[in-house]
Amino acid sequence: MDVTELLESASLLVPEEAATENDISVRDVWDYLAHDEWQIALSLLEEFGDGQPLPLTFWEQLAEAAEQLGLERSAAWCHWRSSEIRNGMIRADLTLRPAAEARRRTPISGHGVLRPMWDIGNLSPTGGVSVSIAGLWVEDMPVLEPGGRATVRLVPLTPAHWAHVETGQRISMYEDRTVAGTAVVLEVHLPVAAAPTR
């Protein structure tokens, strides 16, 4: 499919009565598509996904359209949202340790590149701490500096490890054997069974 077909197809998956925070409707998206304003249409469709759960196919089509348009950040975000549907998502308030107290001296990328380990309360067979891996996306910031604080989205590598995590729980982030940051869980969304794509 070309960009127009992908965006049209994705827009058909948005409920007709849906609107963004700025009262943009699906009809507005169609107006932009009619005038070949693909990038604006893509951005608006991404906003619809912030307000309500949309199917995996929606995000996959947006990711493909963004790739065809050469919009790396949008493509990464849409792929990330697809992985949230497949693996679940945990939102948390993360505070990194300051550079003077931790090994990390440089900012972490905010766009899903880092996959740190997390102590979420699981124990190893010998009774020690067992860490679980989750990708990390920083909301509304391109990077998070050492000592910084932000709301993050975590996508578990192994969703079953995270099934017991709940709102209000404190979890610790590791990049090596030392704690790199601590977080308080704000929301937990379990994986959604993905519908087959056409």
pTM above 0.85, yes or no: yes
Parse the chain into domains and list their residue ranges: 3-86, 88-189
Q: List, for residues 121-171, the tens digit of each pLDDT value.
A: 999 899 888 999 999 999 999 999 999 999 999 999 999 999 999 999 999
When computed from its CA atoms, the radius of gyration of the chain, rounded to whole angstroms, is 19
Question: What kind of fold does domain 88-189 have according to CATH?
Answer: Elongation Factor Tu (Ef-tu); domain 3 (2.40.30)
| pLDDT in the model for residue 193 | 57
Across 95-104, 115-124, 146-155, least confident range:
95-104
Mean pLDDT of the chain: 91
Q: Which two tokens stand for residue 147?
A: 């000592």
